[in-house]
Each structure stands twice: as structure tokens, then as C-alpha cells.
Amino acid sequence: MVPEVTDDPGLGGTRTTDGGWWRSAAVYQVYVRAFADGSGDGIGDLAGVRSRLTYLRDLGVDALWFNPWYPSPWADGGYDIIDYRAVDPAFGTLADAEQLIAEARSLGLRTIVDVVPNHVSDQHPWFRAALAAGPGAPERDWFWFRPGRGARGDDPPNGWVSHFGGPAWTRAKNPDGTPGEWYLHLFAPEQPDLNWDHPDVRREHEDVLRFWFDRGVAGVRIDSAALLVKHPDLPEVDDDHGPGEHAYVDRSELHDIYARWRAVADAYDEPRVLVGEVWVPDPERMALYLRPHELHTAFNLDFLQAPWDAHRLRTSIDGTLAAHAAVGAPATWVLSNHDVTRPVTRYGRADTSFAFETKRAGTPTDLALGQRRARAAALLAMALPGSVYVYQGEELGLPEVEDIESSRRQDPMHHRSGGIDPGRDGARVPLPWSGDRPPYGFSPPGTEIDPEATLPQPDGWAALTAEAQLADPGSMLRLYRAALRLRHGEPDLGDGALRWLDPADAGVLAFARGERFACVVNLSDAPAALPPHERLLLTSAALDADGRLGPDTAAWLRLPSPPNEIREHEWSGQ
């Protein structure tokens, strides 16, 4: 492959990789509503992002992925879209988005936008037209309308369950107001599923891709990418199905759709990148999406859910690398996003894995322990082969905000569980930028906050603001900045191979990148010796008096030159 030079004005110099920029990139996820409020209405917006672009450049990331910024009634955090070619007025205008894309690029930051192909808002013109047209009309074929079961059609067409709880079907009214057909929604009722067997649906989305690619975005993140295609007969879910034959998850027909999207992306002089949100547990099925003619990368959701445990992490890393190697795709490493519990909180609990099903409020949490582990996890993720994602606030070590009153929560996951599931709002609270009380510089001074529209920031975040952390060499922000800078300057980090260095202690993960870089993570509860090294590059916490790596600590090392083979007699790991 021809080497490509990627621009990197923020960090000085250029970086050469064998493939595209995305194979090694550090991508920062921006949840616009909670990032920064430029207009002074208490809601984050594009002006706020533009005012903080230098913060992102200085953090050392290569690209920004924006959660949906389109017009939306906000029934599901913007994942219910009315118009895929516009910007929500609360966030700004299309011209603002174009300016943001260009400004970011001039600072060396590429832009990735979110596309949501599985469903639209129930306020989208297509769904309104389908409702207005009534049963049998061609507009209904864009969606999944079906008569109900039972004598009067009172029961949903099948037993599928929504991801947010309750039936995946809602009964629509006929144009004359009488009870009518039911429509499918794998998520909230305000998010009707599109029918991907319909050529209009396919054409429309390819056109939406071109719309954003033409405006200079470098790629798209594809929401719920494994759910688009449904079995045409809408059968009950049967766990005994063959590969690719589940009623609506990971169906084989999806691959035609993404091959077409790839052709759209590849038609640009600088080919655009497709990043899939593919929740498919089988690594081999997952790798099918990453074949050279389909998606470029996908989020590593296995790693995201893994507990803080050396064996489980190593298994996840090995499984990931083997599956990706088979199709020549780079892995990605993700510690958090807008859907999951903040790492500082998750790692401070007895159960450090993530699962939607087990989220409960009031779980005992040791935040100091969580913080220590989150720091080590960051160095692990950034040293692994491939690209890495950072969700806004992760670099500040924000904890999950757990004491938001139910009435102020916005997430349908919370409300549709009858309040049992805390939902995802605790990771979507406005960022603290400066000052010692809410809104911590999130909004301009004097802004009146509308409690209906904005999630509350906790008291006690003064030490977590970006301003405070920049001044504190021991802060999470300073660690992220140092690590991302080092990662940029290390030719062996990013895309490439990994070589495990095996310490005797099973609670230690240690691997080399290239000949002279090593990452060691101690997940045991005793201090661990470091392998022979020339220099310590970075640690997530200070070494002990004997130069050993404490529990829940990670180190980046420069290995000796000429490289020694590390043998067990030299390094016991203890």
C-alpha cells in the first residue's frame, strides 16, 4: 500500500502510516448537547464546540465524532431524526456545521458524523405521510406496518421486545382516528423502524451519505448497524437460528447494504470512512462487516464491556486482534461512550463489567479506586494496536452522575423501565470547564438554565473542570494529554502488531509494540516488577519506593537498545 502522510499541525510534524489515518486515529466523541454552550441558552451547541476546538487539538486527538446534531424532538438523545440534512436549531445551522467542519480540519481534526439508518423520528415527513395515507398506501411500505393479532387486532403482530423495554410495536390510528395497524420500533415508539427492503430507503441513505461527504466530513458512524434488515415474515425470535438468520440482528443481507455504502465512500478523492456500531458478540460474524469492501472499522464493544481483570482483558484483546487480522482491518479500543456507565464509576464497583441489563442505581462505588483503574485503562487502550476512542468527559475522569432526579432524566431507557433502570443520562451531563460552581463555564455567565432542557451538574465538580485539571500535573486531563502526545510521536503505536511479554504474574498484562516500546498494566493486588527498561515514558501513578508498579497502575516503557529478549529469569513480574 502507498504510505499516506497525515497532517498533524497540533502536535507538530507529520505521521506516516501504511494505510489510512483512521487505522491509528484517536477519535474524540462529542455529545454536542453537553459539550459547551456558546449561545447562552443552557444547551450545548456548535458555537460552543467551535470555541473549544483548540482544547481538542491540544488534547491531541485526530478526529471528532459528533453524536446526531440533526433536528430532533429528542425522544432518544437525538437518535430520533426529523431531517438528516439539517442541524437542530438548538445547536445552530447547517452553515455553522460547515464552518465547524472546515475549522476543525484546519486544526488537523477530521469530522465524523452519526447516521441513524435503522429508524427515523415519528415526526419525520415520511412517517407522517405514512400515517396520513392509511393502510395499504405505498408510503406505509417505507416502514413495518402490520395488522394486529386477535379478533380486533388488539395484540401486536409478534412478540418482539423493544431495546428500551415493552413491546417493539405501537398501534397507530387510522386517518379517521379509529385504531389501526401497528408499526415496528426496535427502540422507542417515537423511532419507527425503516424497511430496508424498500429501494427508496436505500437510495435516500446513500444520498444522505453523499450530502455530508460533500460537506467535507471524513466519515460516518453508523448507528445500530446490525439491526437494519428484518426477516420479511417477521417471525418470532428463535435462538436456534443459523448464522445470519436471526429475525432482525446481524442478518446476512446487511452486507450488500454496506458494500454499496463503501462504494459511495470510495468515490471521493480522499475516501471517506465507515465506522460501524455493530453489537454482534461473535467475533467472526463481526469481522464480516470489516472485509475490505465493507466498513473500515467498528467499535470494540467486547472490550468496552470487559471487566477489570487481566485474563478477561487479554482474552478480549487476543480475540479482537485475531478476528481483525483475518480481514486486514484495524481494531478499535473504546472505554466509554454516551450509552454506558462512566469508567471511573464502573471500575470502582465490585462488578467492573458493563451490561445494560444490570445497571442499577445505588451500587456501592469506590471512586478513588475507579479513578486509579481508569487511568491505567487509558494507557492500556492507547497502547493497543489500532485506533482509540475518547468520549467527552472521559479525559476529565468524570464519574457517572447518579443522583439526577427522575423527573429531570431524559433517557427513554429510564422512563420505559418504570424508573428501575437509571438510564444513560448520568454520562451525558454538561462538561465542567472552569470555575467552582455550576455551570462551571459550560454556559456563558448569566445564562438561565431551563431544568427541562439541561441535565444538572453536581456540586463538587470544581476540581474536575478542564481549567483546574490543566493546572494540576497529576490530573486525568494531563495524563490524557501526555499519553495522546506520546502516542502520536511513537511510530510503533497505533496500527500494527503486538507482542506479549509474559511476566510470571497472571495479574499483569505486558506487551511490546515494535522493538522498543512496552506497556505494562498491573491488575493484581500486589506490586509488580517492571521488565528491564531504558526509560519510563509515562505511568498512570507513581512507582513504589522499590521501583515497582503498584496495583491498578500502568506504565509505558522504552525498552533497552539493542532490544534484549526478556526472559523469565530477568523479569519475574513480582
Shortest distance, CB of residue 356 to ligand ISL, whole angstroms?
Answer: 4
Nearer to ligand ISL, 224 or 392 (CB): 224
Find the binder of ligand ISL among 17, 24, 224, 341 (CB under 6 A): 224
Q: Please tell me whether residue 74 binds ligand ISL under the rule CB under 6 A.
A: no
Q: Strand 110-115's sheet: what is its strand order?
A: 297-298, 273-276, 219-222, 110-115, 63-66, 26-30, 387-391, 332-334
Q: Please tell me whether residue 421 binds ligand ISL under the rule CB under 6 A.
A: no
Nearer to ligand ISL, 340 or 538 (CB): 340
Instruction: Name which of 270, 315, 317 is nearest 296 in CA terms.
Output: 270
Which range in 74-82, 176-184, 302-310, 511-519 contacts ligand ISL by CB under 6 A?
A: 74-82
**Is residue 298 within 8 Å of 276, Cβ to Cβ?**
yes
Nearer to ligand ISL, 23 or 359 (CB): 359
Alpha-carbon distance 432 to 451, whole Å? 17
Q: Three-state DSSP class for 509?
A: strand
Shortest distance, CB of residue 508 to ligand ISL, whole angstroms?
Answer: 32
Shortest distance, CB of residue 280 to ligand ISL, whole angstroms?
Answer: 10
Alpha-carbon distance 116 to 223, whole Å? 5
Instruction: Name which of 25, 159, 38, 2 is nearest 443 in CA terms.
Output: 38
Nearer to ligand ISL, 39 or 417 (CB): 417
H or E, element range at 558 = strand 553-558
Q: Please tell me whether residue 305 binds ligand ISL under the rule CB under 6 A.
A: no
**Is residue 303 within 8 Å of 317, Cβ to Cβ?**
yes
Residue nearest to ligand ISL (CB): 79
Q: Please tell me whether residue 167 binds ligand ISL under the rule CB under 6 A.
A: no
Shortest distance, CB of residue 187 to ligand ISL, whole angstroms?
Answer: 5
**Is residue 542 within 8 Å of 552, Cβ to Cβ?**
no
Find the binder of ligand ISL among 104, 116, 218, 483 (CB under 6 A): 116
Taken in order 412, 187, 286, 235, the sign of the CA dihedral is positive
Strand ranges (DSSP E) for 362-421? 387-391
Q: Please tell me whether residue 250 binds ligand ISL under the rule CB under 6 A.
A: no
* Cell representation of residue 24: 491509528
Q: Please tell me whether residue 96 binds ligand ISL under the rule CB under 6 A.
A: no
> DSSP label at 364?
-
Nearer to ligand ISL, 223 or 495 (CB): 223
Which range in 72-80, 86-94, 135-143, 432-440 contacts ligand ISL by CB under 6 A?
A: 72-80
Instruction: Name which of 223, 250, 256 is nearest 237 in CA terms.
Output: 250
Question: 562: cis peptide before it, omega within 30°?
Answer: yes
Nearer to ligand ISL, 231 or 485 (CB): 231
* Residues from 274 through 293 that contact ligand ISL (CB under 6 A): 277, 279
The dihedral formed by the CA atoms of 167, 205, 221 and 348, expressed in degrees to the nearest 10: -10
Find the binder of ligand ISL among 69, 79, 248, 354 (CB under 6 A): 79
Size of the site for ligand ISL (CB under 6 A): 13
Q: Please tell me whether residue 302 binds ligand ISL under the rule CB under 6 A.
A: no
Alpha-carbon distance 473 to 165, whole Å? 45
**Is residue 289 within 8 Å of 277, Cβ to Cβ?**
no
Find the binder of ligand ISL among 35, 187, 248, 517 (CB under 6 A): 187
Shortest distance, CB of residue 340 to ligand ISL, whole angstroms?
Answer: 8
Nearer to ligand ISL, 336 or 539 (CB): 336
Q: Please tell me whether residue 524 binds ligand ISL under the rule CB under 6 A.
A: no
The answer for 195, left when phi > 0, alpha when psi is -120 to 50, beta otherwise, is beta
* Residues from 364 through 403 that contact ligand ISL (CB under 6 A): none
**Is residue 429 within 8 Å of 34, Cβ to Cβ?**
yes
Nearer to ligand ISL, 305 or 443 (CB): 305
Nearer to ligand ISL, 79 or 433 (CB): 79
* Residues from 311 through 350 that contact ligand ISL (CB under 6 A): 338-339
Q: Please tell me whether residue 117 binds ligand ISL under the rule CB under 6 A.
A: no
Interaction site with ligand ISL (CB under 6 A): 76-77, 79, 116, 163, 187, 223-224, 277, 279, 338-339, 356
